[in-house]
Structure 1
Amino acid sequence: MREKGSPSIPIRPPMVLYAGLAVGGLLDYAADVRFLPDSLGFLSSLSGYALLAVSIGLMFMACTAFRREHTNVRTDRPAESVVADGIFRFTRNPMYLSFCLLGLSLSLILNSLWVLLGTFPFCVYIHHVVIPEEERYMEKRFGDAYLNYRRRTPRWL
């Protein structure tokens, strides 16, 4: 349940990703559709595991920065501060980037077109619904401190 003073995000972002991955996984089980040739299997898996490591690292660095600033990670709770150090110096949305990379990494590891397509709705939802709402919320809550951060730090990379 959304707490008062938090962004108006209709569905928590991880739930959208998990649903997409679950649907992709079920479709993959029902109809195995590969998007890379079998000859690239090892390279695909290796790339997938490398991206998975990057995804986990990004999430770890982002959560660590949030804890240092004593602010909430969850979108249904109020932000306590503008986190602008650590990984947040390079991207305003390392957690969402991490989730997108997670879906891509799993699709490479499994060589599954369905898992890749299951990640796509999450990326669209984040880019067009969640981030714009969070940006409006942060601007209203923190004013110039957030606007200065937003000007100097890219949304993605």
Structure 2
Amino acid sequence: MTVSSKQLHRSQRRDALIYWIYIPSAVVLGGKTVDRLLDLPSIPSFGGLPVIPAAILIGIGVVFIQRATFDLKHYGGGTPNPQAPPERLVTEGSFSLCRHPMFLGYDLTALGTVLLLRSWGMLIIAYPIFIALEIRFLQNREEPVLARRFGAAYSDYRKRIPFLLPNPFKRRKPS
């Protein structure tokens, strides 16, 4: 099925709203609601210290997202959008570190935001729920689609490359 440029842009705008507005808003509002309901204090700032790790996490997260998007186009001939997916299985670049580097980027960005906003409710309730739902989505929706599309190649890739968290101590065999 060929997708028009207009349909693709509409789908990309929808995805941007979901990943950059709706989901982060749910994490922030959910966490802040927990803070208020349980009368939780803010995470201590230790002289402004959370700003530095928060900025680092957000920066690394954005780099992962941008790199994964580039890798999907450069190595796979497609986009992260299901309307125009990669034509080939991408195992190079950021996809040689983990099977879902874009989601890792979102996770790091969200964790940086949690630290920046200094919310216990976000850190101990909303963020873990977000991660659990994401893992469920990836395991039950994303990975089965990839397994059907790419068959044995995806099965081999799954055996070699970690799910979401890169293992810096594991040597990877070239594909």
TM-score, reference length from structure 2: 0.70
Contact 1:25 1:114 in 2 (8 A): yes
Aligned-pair identity in percent equals: 24
Structure 1 residue runs of 5 or longer lacking an equivalent are 4-11
User: Which of 92, 98, 115 is matched with 1:85 structurally?
Assistant: 92
- Distance in 1 (CA, whole Å) between partners of 2:30 and 2:82 is 25
* Residue 37 (1) aligns with residue 39 (2): no
Structure 2 residue runs of 5 or longer lacking an equivalent are 4-14, 167-175
Residue deviations 1:63-118, cap 9 Å, x none?
11012122231246545221111011011111111111111101111211233333
Which residues of 2 match residues 117-136 of structure 1 at below 5 A? 117-136=125-144
User: Which of 14, 21, 28 is matched with 2:27 structurally?
Assistant: 21
Residue deviations 1:119-138, cap 9 Å, x none?
33221111112333211111
Which residues of 2 match residues 1-157 of structure 1 at below 5 A? 14=19, 17-24=23-30, 27=33, 33-34=40-41, 36-38=43-45, 40-68=46-74, 69-75=76-82, 78-116=85-123, 117-156=125-164, 157=166
Contact 2:28 2:114 in 1 (8 A): no
**Cα RMSD (Å):** 2.9
Contact 1:45 1:110 in 2 (8 A): no
Count of residues in correspondence between the two structures: 147
